[in-house]
Amino acid sequence: MPILCTVDVVLLTLNPQLQVALLPRDRAPLAGALALPGGFIHADEDADPLAAAARMLRAKTGLDCPYLEQLATFGGPGRDPRGWSISVAHVALVPADLLARGAAGLRWHPVDALPALAFDHAQIVAQAVARVRSKSQYSSLPVHLCGERFTLPQLQAVYEALLGEPLNKVSFRRRIDEMDLLEPIEGERTGGAHRPAQLWRLKDRRRGALTLTDRLLGPAVLAP
């Protein structure tokens, strides 16, 4: 019996809490059950697991996510009734303001109040959320859940939503400064007439990869 090889994508957004995209399965096994967007690796067209995940995400959600990374591989004899199977699971992040452009049919659920999911997808979501929260402690990852432009209070709120606790404004801004992530958008401010706030964006050279801090932003928790 060959082993079944699939990819699954934990697509997350922040709106206003952390939410995951689910789709009802359109075929057996477990037709109708809520599951992560995913499917079989296509040996004739996929260059690697990441390419398979990107193809799946486009096909099932209409989204080209700027942030897509491999999470971990789940496998075993019992996770799929069709036989010993592997899922190379991925995490994708999408800013909430991009969702209007695609993603019809997706059902968004807060990660802290999930319905029953097909297969071992609840476990995959839990590991993805732990990874995202862990990386939020020491990297620029949360910026990928912000829109193209944001104020520093908005960015701090995104970090706080992911870390699950309030951050000290002064030390938060010091960490952000140290990472050298952001540039002000000249002439662009937002908010009321008396206290307009500067708008910022990620520097071009920071877009390709995560940037790390050398001091954690929140309490230390283990990356899975």
- Per CB under 8 A, 145 contacts a copy of itself: no
- C-alpha to C-alpha distance for 116 and 34, rounded to whole angstroms: 7
* Side chain identity at residue 178, one-letter code: E
- Per CB under 8 A, 39 contacts a copy of itself: no
* Residue 145 DSSP symbol: G
Nearer to a copy of itself, 99 or 202 (CB): 202
Three-state DSSP state, 186: strand
Rounded to the nearest whole angstrom, what is the least distance from the CB of residue 138 to a copy of itself in the complex? 7
* Side chain identity at residue 174, one-letter code: R
Question: Which residues neighbour 10 within 8 Å (Cβ) at sequence distance 6 or greater?
Answer: 20, 36, 71, 89, 90, 91, 92, 124, 125, 128, 129
Judged by CB under 8 A, which of 18, 34, 36, 49 binds a copy of itself?
49
- Per CB under 8 A, 220 contacts a copy of itself: yes
Nearer to a copy of itself, 48 or 183 (CB): 48
Rounded to the nearest whole angstrom, what is the least distance from the CB of residue 21 to a copy of itself in the complex? 22
Is residue 57 within 8 A of residue 11, CB to CB? The reply is yes
| Piece of the chain touching a copy of itself by CB under 8 A; list 54-62, 143-151, 185-193, 207-215 | 207-215
Judged by CB under 8 A, which of 54, 74, 94, 136 binds a copy of itself?
74
| Piece of the chain touching a copy of itself by CB under 8 A; list 12-20, 24-32, 43-51, 188-196 | 43-51
Judged by CB under 8 A, which of 27, 28, 47, 204 binds a copy of itself?
47
Nearer to a copy of itself, 3 or 31 (CB): 3
Around Cβ 197, how many Cβ atoms within 10 Å? 15
- C-alpha to C-alpha distance for 187 and 182, rounded to whole angstroms: 15
Question: 76: buried, middle or exposed (CB in 10 Å: 19+, 13-18, 0-12)?
Answer: exposed
Is residue 129 within 8 A of residue 18, CB to CB? The reply is yes
Residues 5-34, one symbol each (x = binds a copy of itself by CB under 8 A, - = not), give: x-----------------------------
Q: Which two tokens stand for residue 53?
A: 């995940």
Interacting residue ranges for a copy of itself, rule: CB under 8 A: 1-3, 5, 41, 43, 46-49, 70, 72-77, 83-84, 86, 88, 138-139, 209-216, 219-223
